Structure 1
Amino acid sequence: MRIFAATALALMASATPALAQDATFQGPRVEAVAGWDNLKTSGLSGSGFVYGGAAGYDLQRGNLVVGVDGEITGTTTDKTIGTAIIKGGRDFYAGARIGYVVAPATLVYGKVGYDNSRVIGRAGNLRVTDDLDGVRLGAGVERSFGHYYGKVEYRYTNASDDVVRHQVLAGIGYRF
């Protein structure tokens, strides 16, 4: 987490005001994300650290931005009850986002898409892995620094009737 924060600060410090004035939210992008993850299942709840990467493409027309993105993350989230352990596993996401440029270098956006979450349960020698399909909803703010950008995002994922996930992430990225 310290490396992530130091990298984000270095990228922001290296961006000049002139770069921010030429901000565009169009084209292909890649990013690293990290933050807080909370997994709730059948009355149990556990929190941990989520980390991963994403790629996407945005199209900007005036102040309106529409795009697609995909993401792969992992998590340290788990909950132990006696000898049983419930863990969050890898997470795949593919979806779309729509946003509005509210300042020359600031984008506010919402997103929706398909999510496939892995949940792992262990009790003694028994291990059960379940891949759950669901819907992710999210909202965030992205700030451009020329080709670099930083973002903060909240997301809610409903993976089944019994499994929901809340996440708050920060990200740093590069737009080509």
Structure 2
Amino acid sequence: MKKFAIAGVAAALFVVPAAANAQAFVQVETGLDSVSADGESQQGLSYGVSAGYDLPLSGGMFVGIQGTVADSTTKDCVSDVSVPGDRLCLRTGRDLAAVVRLGTSVGEKSKLYVLGGYTNARLRLTYDNGTTTTVDAANGDGFRLGAGYQYDINDKLFLKAEYRYSNYEGDFSRHNGIVALGAKF
């Protein structure tokens, strides 16, 4: 994963001189979060913010970078009915990502793109035996792949629909279906 991070930083430094032609953006996003761990899956709501910029290339193509900070309501709890107060919960925590986007314009107001990059998510395990609560958290490194569609409402605002697949260490993965409202500046 460190190789991907170094390659991403190197690519960003290469693109920075051309940033004068870049279109910066920020967006708020929400959608379905389907998390799989050890062959079982749970669904919840994902929400967060992303920021980045797109650099136009020739022929209507563009390349961009995007950083995301998100969280999720996805949670799975089990209880032992024979032990009063016994409860074990696994919850997703924050999700950080840095991706590169490559796409093309479709007409004057639309873009189609694919994305790929690095992601890091947190899982929290909580055990409550009725008198004591124990919490443990772990971070998982992984990769993210996806595709999306962006529609410009006007010169400053856009709507976006995006699919993201993330695969982490320890047989942990997630699928996201995201919708976003963003602003360009």
| In the alignment, structure 1 residue 69 sits paired with structure 2 residue 66 | yes
Report the equivalent of 1:105: 109
Q: 1:143 aligns with which of 118, 139, 151?
A: 151
Shift in Å, 1:126: 2.5
Partners in 1 of 2:39 and 2:138 — Cα distance? 17
Alignment of 1:70-89 (within 5 A): 70-82=67-79, 83-89=87-93
Given the alignment of the two structures, is residue 129 of structure 1 paired with residue 137 of structure 2, yes or no? yes
1:153 aligns with 2:162: yes
Q: How much has 1:26 moved relative to structure 2?
A: 4.5
Taking the aligned partners of 1:144 and 1:26, their CA distance within structure 2 comes to: 16
Larger radius of gyration: 2
Quick one: distance in 1 between partners of 2:49 and 2:92? 17
Asked if 1:115 is matched to 2:119, the reply is: yes
**C-alpha distance in 1 between matches for 2:71 and 2:60:** 33
1:48 and 2:44 aligned: yes
CA contact 1:44–1:79 (8 Å) conserved in 2: no
Q: Which residue of 2 aligns with 1:34?
A: 30
SS, match of residue 49 in structure 1: strand
Question: Contact conserved, 1:51 with 1:74, CA < 8 A, in 2?
Answer: yes
Identity among equivalent positions (%) equals: 32
Q: Which amino acid aligns with 1:81?
A: V
Which sits farther off after the overlay, 76-85 or 108-117?
A: 76-85
Taking structure 2 as the reference length, what is the TM-score of the superposition? 0.79
Give the distance between the partners of 1:45 and 1:81, measured in 2 at CA: 14
What's the CA shift for 1:43?
2.6
Structure 2, unaligned runs of 5 or more:
1-20, 80-86
- Structure 2 letter corresponding to 1:59: L
Picking from 72, 96, 100, the partner of 1:96 is 100
User: What is the CA-CA distance between 1:137 and the residue it aligns to?
Assistant: 0.5
SS at match of 2:98: strand
Question: Which letter maps to 1:49?
Answer: L
The letter for the 2-side match of 1:28 is A
For the structure 1 residues 141 and 31, does the alpha-carbon distance in structure 2 shift closer, same or farther, using more than 3 Å as the test? same
**8 Å contact kept, 1:92–1:115:** yes
- State the AA in 2 paired with 1:118: R
Q: CA RMSD in A?
A: 1.3
